[in-house]
């Protein structure tokens, strides 16, 4: 792990605020030494959050600095340095963890060289619909089945999902096709049910700054797909991720789904530039959502290609066997045959940027 300690110059250790501080362990230091340091931090009334890299461990410290003796910690066995972190989202920051975070979910690695595709309908509507879709997207190369059982809707009279029954259908379809599940939790009540059936919990754009929900989903220890809020800055997005990371859950996947601007020809404006920016600022994996950015199926494939070319670690796409009869987001849902065609084209983009699909 490459670390830049230039920010420490012209500072004394006693002036570093642990709310913006990390402890860097020596390269290949035994885990027992890191655990000893974390034990001492805990005894000081602070919270240690370990971030494990390929060569060394970094420990972020959360809490009130007045109970912390930085000099004693710096002298402990295995400690290489004590450093200030300039970003307010220190757990998500690239300066804290240089290596890309790779999230391994039942053998599916998100954030590595292989691009990961999540696909399925906006809403689970019936067993036939979700089973047919799962079979089609798996055949085309998707590894993660998406589908909503709880749907936050702008219109209170729109279809709001099948709830627990929808979760059961989604899980059964995924198991049948050897896939894993990503689905959205809207609130505390739905979260309790989602964690029973999902492999990844999605937090939608409307809930990106629902901080109590973020903390709660972090405590579940399941990987979290955190969608960017429709008017959120990149800084606000990464700070939302920080709420989840601060619970000790390192498995956060960011999702760029477009932002709201004055443009009305598309549902949202796909902020493709946010992908390389976030990859520069943070070690967390980033997934692109061309469906919600476009709002119209004719634009989904071009935006998916743009996201992959910009450095996204995968995409999440809405697919429906009969979009004209979809109960939600039919306009932006691809037909299975269109999804299969797009997947073949994406392989060429992946190859061009040194990735696999």
Residue 67: predicted pLDDT? 63
User: Where are the domains positioned within the chain?
Assistant: 6-84, 103-352
**CATH fold group of domain 103-352:** TIM Barrel (3.20.20)
Per-residue pLDDT, 281: 97
Sheet strands (E) in the chain: 21-25, 47-52, 57-62, 79-84, 103-105, 108-110, 116-120, 144-146, 180-184, 200-203, 224-227, 252-256, 286-288, 314-318
pLDDT along the chain (357 residues), means of 10: 40 48 89 92 88 85 72 89 86 91 97 97 96 98 96 74 94 98 95 96 97 97 97 97 95 97 94 98 98 97 98 98 93 97 98 97
Instruction: Kindly list the strands in the beta sheet with 57-62, ordered across the sheet, starting from the edge strand earlier in the chain.
Output: 47-52, 57-62, 21-25, 79-84
Q: Which CATH number fits domain 6-84: 3.30.70.1140, 3.30.1330.10, 3.40.50.620, 3.30.70.890?
A: 3.30.70.1140
- Secondary structure (3-state) at 163: coil
For residue 307, what pLDDT is reported?
A: 98
What's the Cα-to-Cα distance from 116 to each of 198, 213, 238, rounded to whole Å?
17, 26, 21
Domain pair 6-84 / 103-352, same fold = no
* Count of CB atoms situated within 10 Å of the CB of 273: 11
Give me the pLDDT at residue 156, please. 77
DSSP three-state, residue 261: coil
Instruction: Name the DSSP class of 335.
Output: P
pTM of this structure: 0.88
């Amino acid at each position: 792990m490459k670390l830049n300690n230039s920010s420490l110059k012209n500072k004394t250790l006693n002036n570093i605020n642990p709310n913006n501080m990390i402890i860097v362990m020596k390269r290949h230091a035994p885990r027992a030494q890191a655990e000893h340091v974390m034990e001492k931090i805990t005894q000081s009334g602070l919270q240690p959050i370990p971030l494990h890299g390929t060569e060394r461990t970094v420990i972020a410290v959360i809490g009130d600095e007045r109970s912390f003796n930085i000099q004693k910690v710096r002298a402990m066995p295995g400690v290489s340095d004590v450093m200030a972190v300039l970003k307010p989202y220190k757990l998500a920051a690239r300066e804290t963890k240089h290596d890309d975070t790779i999230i391994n979910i039942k053998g599916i690695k998100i954030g590595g060289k292989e691009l990961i595709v999540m696909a399925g309908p906006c809403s689970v509507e019936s067993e036939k619909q979700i089973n047919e879709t799962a079979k089609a997207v798996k055949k085309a190369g998707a590894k993660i089945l998406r589908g909503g059982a709880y749907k936050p809707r702008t219109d209170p009279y729109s279809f709001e999902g099948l709830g627990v029954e929808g979760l059961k259908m989604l899980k059964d379809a995924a198991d049948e096709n050897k896939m894993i599940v990503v689905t959205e939790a809207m609130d505390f009540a739905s979260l309790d049910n989602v964690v029973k059936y999902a492999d990844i919990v999605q937090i939608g754009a409307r809930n990106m700054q629902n901080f109590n929900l973020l903390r709660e989903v972090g405590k579940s220890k399941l990987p979290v797909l955190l969608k960017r809020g429709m008017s959120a800055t990149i800084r606000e997005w990464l700070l939302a991720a920080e709420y989840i990371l601060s619970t000790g859950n390192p498995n956060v996947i960011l999702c760029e789904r477009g932002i709201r601007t004055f443009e009305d020809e598309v549902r949202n404006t796909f902020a493709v530039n946010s992908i390389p920016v976030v990859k520069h600022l943070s070690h967390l994996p980033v997934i692109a959502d061309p469906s919600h950015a476009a709002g119209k199926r004719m634009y989904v494939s071009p935006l998916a290609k743009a996201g992959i070319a910009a450095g996204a670690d995968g995409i999440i796409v809405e697919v429906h066997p009969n979009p004209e009869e979809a109960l939600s987001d039919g306009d932006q849902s691809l037909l299975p045959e269109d999804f299969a065609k797009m997947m073949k084209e994406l392989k060429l983009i992946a190859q061009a940027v040194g990735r696999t699909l």
